[in-house]
Structure 1
Amino acid sequence: METKENTIFENYFKDFSKYDELLTADMTIKPDWKSLLDNLLKIGSKELASKQSEIDWLLAENGVTYNVYNDPNGLNRPWNLNIIPFIIQQKEWRLVEKGIQQRSELLNLILKDIYGERKLLKEGIVPPEVLYAHRGFLRACDKIQYKTAKQLSIHAVDLARGPDGRMWVVNDRTQAPSGMGYALENRLSNSRVIPELFDNINVKQPSKFFKDFNQLLLSAVPENKSNPTIVILTPGPHNETYFEHAYLSNFLGYPLVKGNDLVVRNGKVWVKSLKGLKQVHVILRRVDDAFMDPLELREDSYLGVAGLLEVVRQQNVAIVNPIGSGVLENPGLIPFMENICKYFLDEKLILPQIASWWCGQEKERNHVFDNLTSFVVKKIDRSQRENIIFCEFLSKKELKKLKKDILTNPNQYVAQEKIYFSTAPNFVNEKLEPRKILCRTFSIAKGDGYSVMPGGLVRVAAEREKLFVSNQRGGTSKDFWVVGEQKENQLQLYSWNKTFPNNIISINDVPSNTAENLFWSGRYVARTLLTARYIRMVLNQMTNTQFNSKYQPNSESLNILYHSITTITSTFPGFFDEEKGDDMLKDPLKEIISVVIDETRIGSFAQSLQSFNGSYFTLRNLWSKDMWRVFDSIDKIWKNFKTEENYSVYAMTKFFDKIITRLIAFMALTEESIMVRQGLLLYFIGLQLEEASITIEKFRALVVVNHDEDLEYEILESLLSSHESLNIYRYSYKSYLSLENVLKLLLLDNEYTRSFSYQITRLQKDINKLPNNGLNNEPTVCQINIDKALSLIENITLEAILEVDEKSKIRLKLDTLLSELSDLFHVTSMAISDTYFNHSQQQKQLVNRNITN
């Protein structure tokens, strides 16, 4: 009779690996895994599959992503978490933890020595070429002194089960270690979706570790500051782990900034806020060493801060981890670590390492050449993502070339014994399958020692026989359980030291880059929504006038609307193309489709949507989960629409119905999720500026020219429909459509939120709330111009703007008014950018420093 156990373990025992986490050598279940297995069997494979789908859905809904460069499926690939955790017992973990703490301390001492006395080189313990041939060694960091107890603040270590059954060190990550946020999200997701998995299992929780992590940042403040400014420095949304940068910013409550948010003045680092400069005391960086200071390191970098290293030398800012710590990510150091440990600590390494041979030594190089097919060869410096070479798979010709490459530059190569990662159960197609795993955990400086995360992040090979364990290569992840004897409260409390508040307390303190992104997010979402509404209105009118399949122009009003699409979207020449004019009017749908889907066309709906996506994603740390869900649904609707084979009027109208609803929902959630003092004020200003500007273009396209009564009626009805104001008009005036009443409602009504007058009044109020950085509190250029715009509207008379020039049939005064308002809005927008978002800073390297060879 088939049991649940037989079903879930079907095919697990075939191709048994050299070491499996679940099974003993005689292929029986290890006692350490028994409780988890009992829970899995109790839940059952069908329910597990349902829960796995729920986890996949939850991660996608929460916007947990891992960016993969050149991924054909797009930049923001969903993070994958397998429902089966990896387990290690606390009895074994205590030794691993002790070994990690020893290794962290050892790396800390190496880092201090490399940029300090260099005893390791002087005593001949490490050959100079191992360090100096590595791009991570930065001469500009020599002799820098730090006030923190430890120079190495954060250490990530990759572990794998070695051939002796112990956990071995595979890699050290010290530059800007990633994975902490993903590990926390994995735990929270598993706890939420499948709490019964934890039944009768005492899983150690990471809450104390994250409290220690927050305290680490506070303790790094270089001066006795009661309210320090701590920021997280990110390369930006295209970085592979950008989700984690935003996640930690949101979780810890520290602003997420880019390099152009920061500036060096008077020997200190400042964040550029709306009010001015605000000193930064601690930078948690996620930018690689070489890109941190274009004046002394890579001069082509726009990710760092010019002059930053000099501020570090003066001990006026703390960088976590210190610039230059990437030199520790050097596999060329591994062959010498045992001697280094003996020299510094007078101890043996607690955790074994992969056996390694540095090819810069003749004896070791000859040994490598004699046994080349048994080794994995890599460069000591993998900062440019050089490949790992599995020599057993190379042809004779390839082996000969590799030897030649090594002989040409032996200092650059290290050979390592190929170890077989252990396998652990993965839930695939309602069955358990063994997959190779690699564990990553973290230690952080705490007092005189290091605090280690109980667990961490487990990466899993993508397929059953895969050798590579890498998220970049399509792998998945697991929750990492350290199981103890003492039960812990499953409720994880994350509260920070309240002695050092780091909150943004007013609009003045918002980083200027964040403010700029909010401003343009407001503009882009308004542009995207209003473009969608306008094109949908035209499509509806095409249907209403019985637009036929032969695409024959059948009304003058439609021809005016077609031309207005070009005017409002600025997709010139469009319907104004004199050479193609008649042909385009015979087949207007072709041009409309181009305006909708052509992402390379400036002003198109597709480009506006693309800009909306880009601007909002840079603000990922400010989003609520609901915002991500709506954002993701917009993206999915757009991708599905682009696969349409037939872009009919009906198909496009249906698409716009869906996208408009979600854009409106996203706008509402933006106002709910971001506080005015966090920069929402700039979002409102951008939104109102864009709405007012497009309103001007609508008036210019549709009502400046005088039409006969019947045609004007159709045009006015279209204008009100595109403005979502037709019902409001009928409720307010209950009369035949007239231009006079339409202008009263859409142009001059101070109480109607969609009227032009209301938008300018709102703009004036919001702009007046911006910081005034001028002398004697004089009005800013922004204030002066928006005041002029409001004055123009307040002093205009209906009689004047309704007046028609008999010769040209144009309402000249209305046209002049709209032109002046358009110019004022343009100047206002430019003034806002110049006053509050000026990030430009010409960077010139002080010394020639080539670190890319």
Structure 2
Amino acid sequence: MATAIAPSLLDHATHAARWIAEYRARTARGDVLSDDPAWSIMFEELAAVAGDDLGLARDRVQRHAEDIGTGFRIIGESEERPWPLSPIPLMIPAEEWRTIAAGIVQRADLLESIIADLYGDATLVARGLIPAALVGGSPFFLRPMAGLVPPGGHHLQFIAVDLGRGPDGEWRVLADHLRSPAGAGYALENRLAIARTLGGLQARLNVQRHAAFFAAFRDGLAAACRRVEPRIGLLTPGRYSASYAEQAHLARYLGFLLVEGADLAALEDKLYVRTIGGLKRIDALWHRVDPRLLDPLAFDSHSQIGVAGLIDAAAAGNVVIANVPGAGVLESAAFGAFLPRICVRETGEDLILPNIATWWCGQDQACASVIADFDHLLIGPAFGVAPLGLPDGIALPGVDITGPARAALLDDMTRRPQDYVGQEIVRLSTMPVVTDTGLAARPFTLRVFAARGSDGAWTVLPGGFARIAEHPDPRASVMGEGCWSADVVVHGGEHVAPMSLLPPADTVHVRRNPGTLPSRVADNFFWLGRYLERGEALLGVIRVMLGNSIDADAGAALASETVGGLVGLVVNAGGAPHPPSLRRADLSAFARTAMEDGERHSVRAINRLARGIGQGSRDRLAADFVRLLDAPYPVKGVMLERAGSLQRRYAALSGLSAEHMGRTAAWRFHDLGRRLERAQTVTRAVRAFGMAQASLDDLSTLLDLADSQISYRQRYLTGIARVPVVDLVALDPGNPRSLAFQICRICEHLAALPVLEDDGMEEPQQAQGSVLTAIVSTATAATLDADVLGDVERRLFQLSEAVARRYFLQGAEPLRAGGMVLA
């Protein structure tokens, strides 16, 4: 008789079947997990990654998300948070997705026709299909846009729609996002992280890919432009935007230029980006800025992040804005009360994806119905702004509004009913997520994206991303922003061909020009180099002080005069106030202040400045570089250990910039900043420790500060002497830490950067470099004195100022500067 063999605990299918069975046993009806074999395959892939521990899968996918650089910021917080990604994607069959996609396309066409009418002939208002007060009373209706025909003829290029799935499986629209739709980058990043975690899912389930959607969107924007090879920018509010990490990722993926309002200028009804090579034409702008802030001349005159004259350039047909300002008027919840009727009247069809039932209280009968059914409805603001009765601006179930808050709301609804809507309370379907106790059912919503292709037709991103609630309450109204996100996998029986956003290799025109460098970015890279070098130099002084003066185990202490010189370097750099004495306890406190005091120009403060620049340059810095900048400040161990940890971090950043950054203009500005800062540091060190009266301790300290001890001892076997030390540290062009070497590199960078004239004459910054070269190349170590070094330091400062005037943003000055290139 054959012996039955128990399924192995290591069998992936066994784990998957057990997880599914246990989950279904405790999940209410209406969960999205079904008998579709795709769910079993997905859980088998999870078991292949995590064995019997789903927590391992959760940790792994989170690590992948962090490696990609996915993050977000809560408004009011300065630090980014990691993007919370569930290892379990939402699985949707291709047949079901086709209905969703058709509904999104139908809705996008309907919204486009309504916007065009509202800013055109306004026939929908004249015919009574839309109340005039609903349009004129919306803060998102922008009157300056009336009558403007956008380039390409379309107001909408990219939209997002939030969907909810009911327990019966029906999908319904919860909200439209038309002003500056966010989230497509997160959908892309979610897919990248899940693909790295569940590598076999694509082949086993024929998962539909994202690249075709983004390619169509990019081609659609380009097709609406007048020039054959347009330059497209992604306008961001800046690194403190809640979704800046997503915006940077999208710009890099799509090949768009990530710009801020200060980078742009409108001139003669055309839009330009201010670059190190002059003004360069921008043909299309995909913005993530509140449209009311886009142009202070057309809308909000107090805007500091917009571009004066942008709307004039759009009206002249010279720049495509996606989406056209004013589209947000249809985001108002109140429009949900009228869209179904408009759809039937204008197209003869019902909405494929129905709205949640909505009543606008600006109509007497609808308002009476809302008040009569108050406890069974969701009460919310009509226009997205907080009315008096809902001071937080958040829609709430009527039954949860009690006491004085209820009385105040009903009173305000009587006085200003047009500010409110009533909506049905939607119950959401649930999906599985991994919690600390295993699989749990949580309600979710789905954000779907649509974009115009080159032919003007809509294409829908196959999947989008899901937001999952933290709690099991299935009411959409109490879900909030969600606690997790999830990839959305559209799968089917048809093979999905691999596709990349990159065009075929044989169709790409080879070029070695890395592209446009905005002046702001050049400024950032320049100061990133300076801050890193400045932090390393200050840390070097502190380490010499700690290792030779304070640490009793390190050998004989330095002479007090030499210690005083080190203290002077720190004080002059703003790292710490002068200590009361040079005793060990006072020096220890002094060094701790110079390393960690957040109120001074300490190592920690300099690191924070460099980190801020890194966070604002995600689209141009490698992930490893950003990760090192974001690494927490070391707090364990004694000061010397923490200093050593920081020194290794600085060395790693220096190595990455030297060996992994392409020799582009951005790298040149980064290295130029490093060289200028190091030249100033060396100049000050030589003045402090290399003059005629220098002691052996002074000279040894100078070699330490210049990282030249080994080089000196290999070259000179007779001991330390002032003239050869000064020559090695200040004048030897072969020593990568010397003053001469820095000035040589500075002049090389200045010669390679663009100039405004072709007359062969030096620009001011180049002339300053030539003077410095002459001073250092003709100097001798024996005669180099404090006056010459002081002159070199002043000229280095003047050179820095000349670089800033020539290449960085200086208000509106670059618009009128002679010789600025327009291209």
Establish whether residue 815 from structure 1 lines up as the match of residue 759 from structure 2: no
Q: Return the alpha-carbon distance in structure 1 between the equivalents of residues 55 and 169 of structure 2.
A: 31
Deviation (angstroms), 1:494: 2.2
Deviations 1:740-779, CA, capped at 9 Å, x for gaps = 1111100010111111011111111211222222584432
Deviation (angstroms), 1:526: 1.0
Preserved contact between residue 160 and residue 181 of structure 2 (Cα < 8 Å): yes
Q: Return the alpha-carbon distance in structure 2 between the equivalents of residues 583 and 753 of structure 1.
A: 33
Q: Return the alpha-carbon distance in structure 2 between the equivalents of residues 137 and 275 of structure 1.
A: 38
Distance 1:261 1:200, change over 3 A: same
TM-score for the superposition, normalised by structure 1: 0.88
Deviations 1:795-852, CA, capped at 9 Å, x for gaps = 2233323xxxxxxxxxxxx211121111111111111111111241399xxxxxxxxx
Distance 1:583 1:409, change over 3 A: farther
Q: Return the alpha-carbon distance in structure 1 between the equivalents of residues 194 and 435 of structure 2.
A: 17
- SS state at 1:99 partner: helix
Q: Return the alpha-carbon distance in structure 1 between the equivalents of residues 506 and 270 of structure 2.
A: 24
Task: Show the counterpart of 1:416.
Answer: 423
Distance 1:503 1:135, change over 3 A: farther
Establish whether residue 89 from structure 1 lines up as the match of residue 60 from structure 2: no
Amino acid at match of 1:184: L
Preserved contact between residue 231 and residue 282 of structure 1 (Cα < 8 Å): yes
- SS state at 2:638 partner: helix
Distance 1:826 1:682, change over 3 A: same
Preserved contact between residue 460 and residue 470 of structure 1 (Cα < 8 Å): no
Q: Return the alpha-carbon distance in structure 2 between the equivalents of residues 432 and 667 of structure 1.
A: 45
Q: Which moved more, 1:776-785 or 1:76-85?
A: 776-785
RMSD: 2.9
Amino acid at match of 1:695: V
Establish whether residue 350 from structure 1 lines up as the match of residue 352 from structure 2: yes
Deviation (angstroms), 1:172: 0.6
Deviation (angstroms), 1:41: 6.0
Distance 1:474 1:732, change over 3 A: farther
Distance 1:467 1:832, change over 3 A: farther
- SS state at 1:750 partner: coil
Structure 2 unaligned runs (5+)?
Answer: 1-5, 387-391, 815-823
Amino acid at match of 1:218: A
1:619 pairs, out of 617, 620, 633, with 617
Q: Return the alpha-carbon distance in structure 1 between the equivalents of residues 50 and 275 of structure 2.
A: 55
Preserved contact between residue 8 and residue 430 of structure 1 (Cα < 8 Å): no
Deviation (angstroms), 1:540: 0.9
Preserved contact between residue 461 and residue 467 of structure 1 (Cα < 8 Å): no
Preserved contact between residue 461 and residue 468 of structure 1 (Cα < 8 Å): no
Matching of residues 221-240 of structure 1 within 5 Å: 221=225, 223=226, 225-240=227-242
Establish whether residue 515 from structure 1 lines up as the match of residue 498 from structure 2: no
Q: Return the alpha-carbon distance in structure 2 between the equivalents of residues 58 and 32 of structure 1.
A: 23
Task: Show the counterpart of 2:382.
Answer: 380
Task: Show the counterpart of 1:754.
Answer: 737
Establish whether residue 8 from structure 1 lines up as the match of residue 19 from structure 2: yes
Distance 1:106 1:554, change over 3 A: same
Establish whether residue 799 from structure 1 lines up as the match of residue 782 from structure 2: yes
Distance 1:335 1:163, change over 3 A: farther
Distance 1:148 1:498, change over 3 A: farther
Task: Show the counterpart of 2:60.
Answer: 54
Establish whether residue 442 from structure 1 lines up as the match of residue 425 from structure 2: no
Q: Return the alpha-carbon distance in structure 2 between the equivalents of residues 730 and 128 of structure 1.
A: 86
Task: Show the counterpart of 1:126.
Answer: 130
Task: Show the counterpart of 1:848.
Answer: none
Distance 1:43 1:514, change over 3 A: closer
Distance 1:755 1:583, change over 3 A: closer
Establish whether residue 67 from structure 1 lines up as the match of residue 69 from structure 2: no
Matching of residues 2-41 of structure 1 within 5 Å: 4=15, 8=19, 12=23, 16-17=27-28, 19-22=30-33, 29=35, 33-37=39-43, 39-40=45-46
Q: Which moved more, 1:112-121 or 1:584-593?
A: 584-593
Deviation (angstroms), 1:261: 0.9
Amino acid at match of 2:627: R
- SS state at 2:164 partner: strand
Q: Return the alpha-carbon distance in structure 2 between the equivalents of residues 367 and 483 of structure 1.
A: 43
Deviations 1:245-269, CA, capped at 9 Å, x for gaps = 1111111222211111110111100
Q: Return the alpha-carbon distance in structure 1 between the equivalents of residues 349 and 473 of structure 2.
A: 38
Preserved contact between residue 66 and residue 243 of structure 1 (Cα < 8 Å): yes
Amino acid at match of 1:765: E
Deviation (angstroms), 1:424: 0.3
Q: Return the alpha-carbon distance in structure 2 between the equivalents of residues 467 and 815 of structure 1.
A: 75
Deviations 1:163-182, CA, capped at 9 Å, x for gaps = 54311001111111111111
Establish whether residue 458 from structure 1 lines up as the match of residue 476 from structure 2: no
Matching of residues 819-834 of structure 1 within 5 Å: 819-834=790-805
Establish whether residue 296 from structure 1 lines up as the match of residue 298 from structure 2: yes
Establish whether residue 725 from structure 1 lines up as the match of residue 708 from structure 2: yes
Task: Show the counterpart of 2:339.
Answer: 337
Deviation (angstroms), 1:304: 1.7
Q: Return the alpha-carbon distance in structure 2 between the equivalents of residues 705 and 378 of structure 1.
A: 79
Preserved contact between residue 5 and residue 41 of structure 1 (Cα < 8 Å): yes
Q: Return the alpha-carbon distance in structure 2 between the equivalents of residues 320 and 498 of structure 1.
A: 29
Q: Return the alpha-carbon distance in structure 1 between the equivalents of residues 710 and 385 of structure 2.
A: 62
Q: Return the alpha-carbon distance in structure 1 between the equivalents of residues 510 and 573 of structure 2.
A: 40
Deviation (angstroms), 1:676: 2.9
Deviations 1:516-557, CA, capped at 9 Å, x for gaps = 111111111111222222212211113455599xxx998415
Preserved contact between residue 440 and residue 456 of structure 1 (Cα < 8 Å): yes
Establish whether residue 783 from structure 1 lines up as the match of residue 754 from structure 2: no
Q: Which moved more, 1:500-509 or 1:739-748?
A: 500-509
Distance 1:600 1:11, change over 3 A: farther
Task: Show the counterpart of 1:840.
Answer: 811
Q: Return the alpha-carbon distance in structure 1 between the equivalents of residues 466 and 446 of structure 2.
A: 4
Amino acid at match of 2:57: K
Deviation (angstroms), 1:459: 0.9
Establish whether residue 662 from structure 1 lines up as the match of residue 649 from structure 2: yes
Q: Which moved more, 1:6-15 or 1:236-245?
A: 6-15
Establish whether residue 136 from structure 1 lines up as the match of residue 140 from structure 2: yes
Task: Show the counterpart of 1:810.
Answer: none
Q: Return the alpha-carbon distance in structure 1 between the equivalents of residues 141 and 100 of structure 2.
A: 29
Deviations 1:627-684, CA, capped at 9 Å, x for gaps = 233334xx22x0x52xx5xxxxx62221122222122222222344443335211111
Distance 1:758 1:339, change over 3 A: same
Deviations 1:711-753, CA, capped at 9 Å, x for gaps = x111221221122111111112123111111111000101111
Q: Return the alpha-carbon distance in structure 2 between the equivalents of residues 450 and 170 of structure 1.
A: 20
Amino acid at match of 2:130: V
TM-score for the superposition, normalised by structure 2: 0.91
Matching of residues 176-191 of structure 1 within 5 Å: 176-191=180-195
Q: Return the alpha-carbon distance in structure 1 between the equivalents of residues 148 and 551 of structure 2.
A: 74
- SS state at 1:443 partner: strand
2:434 pairs, out of 413, 427, 442, with 427
